[in-house]
Structure 1
Amino acid sequence: MDLQRNTLHQSSSRYLRQHAHHPVWWHEWTPEVLETAAAAEKLIFVSVGYSSCHWCHVMADTTFTDPQVAAELNTSFICIKVDREQRPDIDQYLMDFVIATTGSGGWPLHVILTPELKPFFSFSYAPAQSSESRRGLLEILTDAQGFYRRNAGRLSHFSVGWNHDSIAVESPDPMTSILSQFDPEHGGFGRGPKLPPYSTLLFLLFRQCYSPEEHAGHIITLTLDAMAQRGLHDHVHGGFFRYCSDRAWQIPHFEKPLIDQAMQLWVYSLAEQLFPERGYRTTALGILRCLEQEFRIGDCYGAALDADVHGVEGGGALWSAEQLASALPQHQRAAAHRVYSFVDPQLQIDRYHIVQHPGAQAHPLESTRAVVRQQLANSAARRPRPELDRTILADANCLTGIALATAARSLGMPQLLRRAVELFHALDRRLRQGQALYHSISHGIRSPQRFARDAAAFALLADTLYESSFDMKQHYTTALRVLDTFETGDSQWVESANADFFPLPAASFDQPYPSTMGLIDLVSARWHVRNQLHPAGEGFLPGLQQDFANIARIIGQGHFFTIYTTREISHITLPVNSMVLPGDAPQYCYEGVCHSGILSDTAS
């Protein structure tokens, strides 16, 4: 196989094609490339990123276009580019290695492997040349090759654990960890950069249904208020950026992945049902607007919006003073400053990010905010917008469907349930073939990869829709069969079923997104309820680590209403912690006690 050229122009991945013009001889991860590297006894340089990653773009535009860097990489390495959104198995394995050996990780992710695929050296962003503040890639490559020459005989494969026994940790209570890490000033957890803690928030919301506590409610509302009012939120276009690089939620990295919109919609919809006085409905409606206007592709949704516009991070979200003056007529500027603050999050001259004014939380100002927002949106529509990665990802779309169904129930918008059903059928039609659910479609090409995470999210979406539409029964049964293909004979779960990579255990760490095992646990718990069996595992798992899986434990403890009905009923009046099941007569049960009739909307 001829590897002395860049072959990424052949890729279906938008992210990989963005590197097709590089002088580096990039290739996709394929058995042929790996076999050639092994035969040539050459080190393998693997670069992992994704289309909306700002620092991935910076490195692509600077480091990998440097002639010296290209010459060294082409001479000494076989170079492979990986799109983490299309190959989460490779990304997970390499990220696990990086975290195990360095304690932290991020993207772009770079790992150097031996010809036998043993990882031994890693780093993240690097310029071409070294400076006083940061080592350059040329120096890093020299160090890596020297380390390999000295230690080649002692290197081993990085092994991953396969213990999925899920032994419950009943003491300490998960709230112990949650309370100890809670940031009482800004919400969220920890004292560093903030990622939205979706799994923990969902666990707390479900927990609040059966065990309402003031301190748990404070954690939920302070965190949700901070995320909605500050820099993480796109106040003009709706939706949320991926994370903030500061403790106070003010300085975002401006990529907008679909999965974050799904998780935020899920969280804010449930929160609106439990805390209707706090205005979370408006935030949820903004996410819905963002999904329809910026992400929708037919009946599905694209993977992510770029952080950059024309190479400028936040180019679609930041405003100059001139742009603000042009967008807002003179008579509206005073009103704009009552509802919004215009901050300089990155200490750039004349680059302002829009956040909610600290004193503008009262509902009487909502109409003013809506008018100003529309003026800004009209002006922004005349500017270049971030590009959408049009890849259809199975897991992110399934989670979006679950969020839409949840919003239909919590916000009283039945049209969202119809949208969720349309989405499910589109995914079923385009990505499933028999008992195989494929991971993605990009440029009309369906990927050959299959992952347990996709199958678990697909099954949970089918299960969620089955509550509202009993004719989903066959689809639910099919989705369970798809998921079962990832269970091994010893009751373990594999993350992937791909011939070009070795099997990995299904991930179980629920931060910030639900893990594969967290999704499987919830599907399993709900299956047990549907079949009138007792779910396994009643004790809680560690807080801030397996909080999504702890939702299944709530079900296992009986803190869920099971509502049996002979007909499809509205969910709008039902508690958050409830399941609707087909039955021979109207009946509802809670904590093992059953009552005849229909559950009233005051039950909780």
Structure 2
Amino acid sequence: MSLTTLDAADRSPNRLARETSPYLLQHAHNPVDWYPWGAEALARARALDRPILLSVGYATCHWCHVMERESFEDAAIARQLAEGFIAIKVDREELPDVDHVYMRALQALTGRGGWPMNMFLTPALKPFFGGTYFPPRPRPGASSFSEVLTAVRQAWQHERAEVEAQAETLYELLEQGVAAVSARPQPPHARVHSMALDALEERFDATHGGFGTAPKFPQGPLLQYLLALAASGQERAREMLLPTLRRMAEGGVYDHLGGGFARYSTDARWQVPHFEKMLYDNAQLARVYAGASRLSGEPRLRFVAEDTLAYLLREMHPAAAPDAFASAQDADAEGEEGRFHVWTLAQLQASLGGDAAAAATLYGATAEGNWAHGRNVLERRDPERVRKALGLEEPAFAAWELSVRERLYAARGQRVWPLTDDKVLADWNGLALRALAEAGRLLEREDLVAAAARLARFLLGTQVREDRVHHAWREGVLRPQSYLSDQAQLGLGLLELHAATGDAEWLRHAQRLAEGVMRRHHDAAEGFFDSEPAPTLPLRARDLQDGAVPSGTAAACELLLRLSGPCGRAEWRDAAVAALQRLGELMERAPLGVPALLHAQLLAELGADLALPAPGGETLWALARRSLAPLATLLRDEPEAWPLLEGRRAGEAYLCRQSACELPARDEATLRAQLQELHPGVPAARD
């Protein structure tokens, strides 16, 4: 599908036509006189003394599409905006710092957030009013967008003092929120992980897996934290992790034809998804499923990990960057959410003939439909019942199901495909790099490791300048912004690629990015900031809570903790530990919101380095490489190449904590015992 499908192609393009963001290009032929975020728009607002409408969304956002059709394609709305406002469009994925600052303002105003986000700012960029989706006509409890524009303009013209006062009050709240991070320093409690498990158990859905009720999100950072806890011997973590992964893989939130997970489930059973697919979800979930398959030995978990990565490798490469990954696939096709993915019974019969009835049973499809209007979201709840009904042994049943999947996938491929947002984001690709490398080594899939290496070369050659990682690239255009998450997630991906290959090149690149983290994003008194100082933003962004991805601070702490030993940089560990020591109150109060911080804290408490000087020791290296060891960082290079390797003998393995090493392991049994002590929850036979 074209990135700029237009209902009004004869209109003159606005300023957004010069942009590269697929989301901004979707609005390039609106009658609205849009500006991109930048100096031109801000200067214009000051010169005309007009309020700013800041409208933030992303290319695969369903309600963003709805509001565009209803309001931003409307000529009367465009006139209202032209007469009273400076209208700015922002892609939240391209400028996450802008999105973060004003989303916090929206949440302070309304108690909730979401996209599209429509905020009204003074020319000094201070927010004073806002909301998410505004309907085209009034509804009970909701004004129309036109009414909102009229009210805001009148308030700006006739109640200016009150508007300015509201803006100042809200701005002070935002400033206090940033300052509060360091105003209440409190070290993590000695039982912080047990306390987190207590809180998680209260929210755990023992029937359907996951946490809380509908809607349910995959929560990749939380699942990764549970995996690390389970590996460290916490049985309670294992008892929440594995049922959640099983239930998610059964429901419609998982694509049983093409692989990969949708953004979230609208119900508690993981049955009906919001059909949008995000790179960050699928990268994190592939990694969790690969690790959990080694933890449990369950073949289905391995299948889901490999199937999810196969989806990314098959469908998510931008044409202009075949070694990198696009950011998302839309929920909508032909203007309707889910149209690409759902099936009627008649469509199954047309595609499968005599196999349709059994396939309908396998995938939970009925004539009435489990979704709407006779259409079905495919699930896979009870394959054993179908296998027995067909009278097939397991290998034959697997072959039959594969044939069904391939035929249905081919038939689905003849439909109008959802839009793919093909911009390349460094931090999300860093997550994918880590997933490919880790799954490749754990599952002994060298093709996945090779794909990770190709991705790393693209990112290093295209989005890294010296020690700064640029956030967004599309079709040869590199955006100037750089964020903490980009630096840290790409660094962690490179570190994992070193673990998968033993190639020290990747470790050296990771070290350089860690140096950039400390130079550009660290403040000794404040901790880590997500963004570098920006003249166009009133506040420097910092968000400690995980959203769908780990916070920049958590990722930076993990990177510095993992690299401090191999690189002999004790000050990096000190910086990470100091940041974590200030955040104990947050870890205790909101563990579901900061699992990546808790994961970094677990690493600070229990983490170790596994150094294997080369050459030689190939059997030890092979054992270490395929081991599920989330609390260990692998280092493989010639003696004397890194501080941690100095004085170590080639062909031996050294398990070290803060540079203090145990006696060397010279055989597999000794190394296995050391890894078992570090990760008692991982069955020894699976190492």
TM-score range, shorter chain: over 0.9
Partner of 2:379: 355
Q: Is the 8 A contact 1:230 1:356 kept in 2?
A: yes
Quote the Cα distance in structure 1 between the aligned partners of 2:243 and 2:360.
23
Quote the Cα distance in structure 2 between the aligned partners of 1:557 and 1:115.
47
Residue from 635, 638, 663 that aligns with 1:595: 663
Quote the Cα distance in structure 2 between the aligned partners of 1:336 and 1:168.
55
Residue from 608, 633, 643 that aligns with 1:579: 633
CA shift, 1:527, in A, is 2.0
CA shift, 1:111, in A, is 0.7
Residue from 40, 60, 71 that aligns with 2:68: 60
Tell me if 1:335 matches 2:380. no
Quote the Cα distance in structure 1 between the aligned partners of 2:485 and 2:58.
18
Superposition pairs for residues 400-415 of structure 1, below 5 Å? 400-415=432-447
Specify the code of the residue in structure 1 equivalent to 2:559: V
Q: Is the 8 A contact 2:283 2:309 kept in 1?
A: no
Residue from 205, 211, 233 that aligns with 2:254: 233
Q: Is the 8 A contact 1:308 1:314 kept in 2?
A: yes
CA shift, 1:246, in A, is 2.2
CA shift, 1:40, in A, is 0.9
Could you report, residue by residue, the CA deviation over 1:210-258 in whole angstroms, capped at 9, with x for unpaired residues? 2231x32221012111211112111111111111222222221111111
Quote the Cα distance in structure 2 between the aligned partners of 1:14 and 1:511.
22
Q: 1:73 to 1:346 in 2, by over 3 A?
A: farther
Partner of 1:6: 14
Question: Runs (4+) of structure 1 moved beyond 6 Å?
Answer: 343-346, 537-540, 590-593
Specify the code of the residue in structure 2 equivalent to 1:235: H
Tell me if 1:161 matches 2:172. no
Q: Could you list the runs of 5+ residues in structure 2 that have no partner in the other structure? A: 1-11, 388-392, 637-644, 680-687
Could you report, residue by residue, the CA deviation over 1:447-505 in whole angstroms, capped at 9, with x for unpaired residues? 11111111111221222223332232331222222322222364532222344334524
Partner of 1:546: 594
CA shift, 1:341, in A, is 1.1
CA shift, 1:314, in A, is 1.3
Partner of 1:216: 237
Find the residue that maps to 2:212 and give its secondary structure.
coil
Partner of 2:427: 395
Percent identical pairs in the alignment equals 29
Quote the Cα distance in structure 2 between the aligned partners of 1:224 and 1:313.
25
Partner of 2:6: none
Superposition pairs for residues 265-414 of structure 1, below 5 Å? 265-277=286-298, 279-297=300-318, 298-330=322-354, 332-342=355-365, 347-358=371-382, 360=384, 364=394, 365-414=397-446
Quote the Cα distance in structure 2 between the aligned partners of 1:136 and 1:406.
49
Quote the Cα distance in structure 2 between the aligned partners of 1:561 and 1:443.
40
Superposition pairs for residues 396-435 of structure 1, below 5 Å? 396-435=428-467
Residue from 551, 554, 559 that aligns with 1:515: 551
Q: Which structure carries more helix by proportion?
A: 2
Find the residue that maps to 1:46 and give its secondary structure.
strand
- Count of residue correspondences: 599
Specify the code of the residue in structure 2 equivalent to 1:474: R
**Whose radius of gyration is greater, 1 or 2?**
2
Specify the code of the residue in structure 2 equivalent to 1:209: A
Q: Is the 8 A contact 1:299 1:426 kept in 2?
A: yes
Quote the Cα distance in structure 2 between the aligned partners of 1:252 and 1:388.
18
Quote the Cα distance in structure 2 between the aligned partners of 1:163 and 1:595.
45
Q: Could you list the runs of 5+ residues in structure 1 that have no partner in the other structure? A: none
Residue from 200, 203, 208 that aligns with 1:178: 200
RMSD: 2.5
CA shift, 1:207, in A, is 0.9
- When the two structures are superposed, what TM-score results if normalisation uses the length of structure 2? 0.82
Q: 1:590 to 1:183 in 2, by over 3 A?
A: farther
Quote the Cα distance in structure 1 between the aligned partners of 2:239 and 2:143.
43
Could you report, residue by residue, the CA deviation over 1:78-135 in whole angstroms, capped at 9, with x for unpaired residues? 1111001111111111111112222221111111112221111111112211134743
CA shift, 1:368, in A, is 3.4
Find the residue that maps to 1:356 and give its secondary structure.
coil
Tell me if 1:474 matches 2:496. no
Partner of 1:487: 522
Choose 142-151 or 465-474, whichever is displaced more.
Answer: 142-151
Specify the code of the residue in structure 1 equivalent to 2:363: Y
Quote the Cα distance in structure 2 between the aligned partners of 1:152 and 1:511.
31
Tell me if 1:528 matches 2:564. yes
Q: 1:447 to 1:471 in 2, by over 3 A?
A: closer
Choose 319-328 or 552-561, whichever is displaced more.
Answer: 552-561
Find the residue that maps to 2:201 and give its secondary structure.
helix
Quote the Cα distance in structure 2 between the aligned partners of 1:327 and 1:304.
28
Q: Is the 8 A contact 1:242 1:255 kept in 2?
A: yes
Quote the Cα distance in structure 1 between the aligned partners of 2:461 and 2:96.
23
Quote the Cα distance in structure 2 between the aligned partners of 1:193 and 1:256.
16
Q: Is the 8 A contact 2:128 2:163 kept in 1?
A: no
- When the two structures are superposed, what TM-score results if normalisation uses the length of structure 1? 0.93
Specify the code of the residue in structure 2 equivalent to 1:574: S
Specify the code of the residue in structure 2 equivalent to 1:195: F
Find the residue that maps to 1:600 and give its secondary structure.
helix
Partner of 1:110: 118
CA shift, 1:328, in A, is 1.1
Quote the Cα distance in structure 2 between the aligned partners of 1:225 and 1:43.
50
Tell me if 1:152 matches 2:152. no
Tell me if 1:92 matches 2:91. no
Specify the code of the residue in structure 2 equivalent to 1:496: S
Q: Is the 8 A contact 1:52 1:257 kept in 2?
A: no
Quote the Cα distance in structure 2 between the aligned partners of 1:392 and 1:470.
26
Specify the code of the residue in structure 1 equivalent to 2:487: A
Quote the Cα distance in structure 2 between the aligned partners of 1:137 and 1:6.
21
Could you report, residue by residue, the CA deviation over 1:354-387 in whole angstroms, capped at 9, with x for unpaired residues? 1113454989354433221111112112222112
CA shift, 1:338, in A, is 4.0
